[in-house]
Amino acid sequence: MTKGPQPKEFSLYCDEAGNSGLSYLDPAQPVHVIAGWVVPTEREEQWAAEITALRDQQSAPELHGVKLLKTRRGPALAAKILEAGLRNGCLPTSLVAFKGHCLALRVVETFLDPASNPGAAWLPAGANQTRREIATMLWQEVPDAIREFGACFKRPETATWSAAVTAIADALDMGHVAARHGTLVSILGKSLRQSLVPAIMDDIVEEEARSVWGTGKRHEAMSLNFPVFLNFMRNLDMLVHGAQIDVIHDETLQFEAAFRQAVQLFGQIGAVDVRTEDGTPWRLSPGSYRSFTTLDSKNVIGLQAADIMAASVYKVAKRAHDDEPLSDDEVPLAALALGHEAAFTMTGDFPRAPGMGSEAELARLHGSAFRAAQRYYDTSGAGDQR
């Protein structure tokens, strides 16, 4: 009996940057990033040797992205590390979450879930695009009220959460908001006020205080780390089909149990055909994920390379959040770390922009990376000046 082709084998080394846990609105860290390298097994030894040689060019015994990018020569060394990954056939992969938008989306998911709030029956759980659009509107129009919810999000309590929802609904009642968004604002306000019914709010608070993920501690599932990790794994599945992937994450005592459980669940699902809200077909095959391991990055050069990747993406994402241009040192980082996904996004070949944020935020992020790639790979030779 003839055997079919064997699945391609990869290692995914990944790490995070901008982690603030349940504090969605840390002004010093407005974005959360998970990023890393998908490394073909047959190229892993050569890739690791090249990264090790580059690490030896600095005085520190470990590559640490945040520290490296603050030094004068650090961005150039980081670019060489990114180049080494691409040269060895490794895929740079990442997901950026803009925290303000994510907090507004948390409001939608918490108080406008039809399973707990009958007044939100018009917004089914699968209406992901509509939910993201509502989150964008909330963050743009009533940010102070959203911040009030962020201030009490860590501890689910009926009194504080009711006050936060009331503040959001009252802010939506302002004339200028209704004038810009019409009947949507009226429907939202009524639905949010429906969640204030004592029995409904008590159920919401009780549900939010529980978690079926990890060890059951609330921070494991409700911190931004977890949904970002899930979306990161899901988006990677769209690029790598039918492979076998071993996931290696830097040590994370807070989230290891939840992350491991998620990868195990993905590995058991197999291939599923689903459709997005607009009817676009999508083959989800997370059975590709074979294992999950956490290791100390001090001893694993692949995780150090993932740390450089995460720090590089964070620098670019922070610029996008602040609506600032990239510096000359940041252009190679954007081109090498994000250029491939930016090209997919800007040309419309990628079903969804990889990231969690408003359309404007994601457009700034991937637009700046796309322009950086054009500049970096300029065939006139300008891109070689790095």
Give residue limits of the domains in the chain: 9-98+234-254+293-384, 100-209
Whether the CB-CB separation of 114 and 126 falls below 8 Å is answered with no
Sign of the C-alpha dihedral computed for residues 224, 227, 230 and 231 taken in this order = negative
- Model confidence over 189-199: pLDDT tens digits? 999 999 999 99
| pLDDT(383) > 50 | no
Q: Is the pLDDT score of 360 beyond 50?
A: yes
In this prediction, residues 264-269 reach a mean pLDDT of 72
Max CA distance (Å), the chain:
73
Three-state DSSP class for 242?
coil
Helix (H) or strand (E) holding 249: strand 244-250
Please give the pLDDT value at position 385. 39
Average predicted confidence (pLDDT) for the chain: 88
Is it the case that residue 368 has pLDDT exceeding 70?
A: yes
Q: Which helix (H) or strand (E) holds 74?
A: helix 74-87
Cα–Cα distance for residue pair 265/230, rounded to 1 Å: 11
**Residue 280's pLDDT band (cuts 50, 70, 90):** low
What are residue 245's DSSP bridge partners?
10, 289
pLDDT surpasses 70 at 219: yes
Is the separation of the CB atoms in 191 and 118 below 8 Å? no
Tell me what pLDDT residue 277 has: 54
The 8-class DSSP code of residue 213 comes to S
| Helices (H) then strands (E): counts for the chain | 16, 7
Dist CA 135 CA 377 (whole Å) = 36
Q: What pLDDT, in 10s, does the model give residues 44-85?
A: 999 999 999 999 988 889 999 999 999 999 999 999 999 999
Q: Rounded to an integer, what distance in angstroms lies between the CA atom of residue 197 and that of residue 162?
A: 9
Judge whether 337 and 313 are in contact, CB under 8 Å. yes
What SS3 class is residue 291? strand
Q: What is the pLDDT of residue 380?
A: 39
pLDDT, residue 239, reads 73
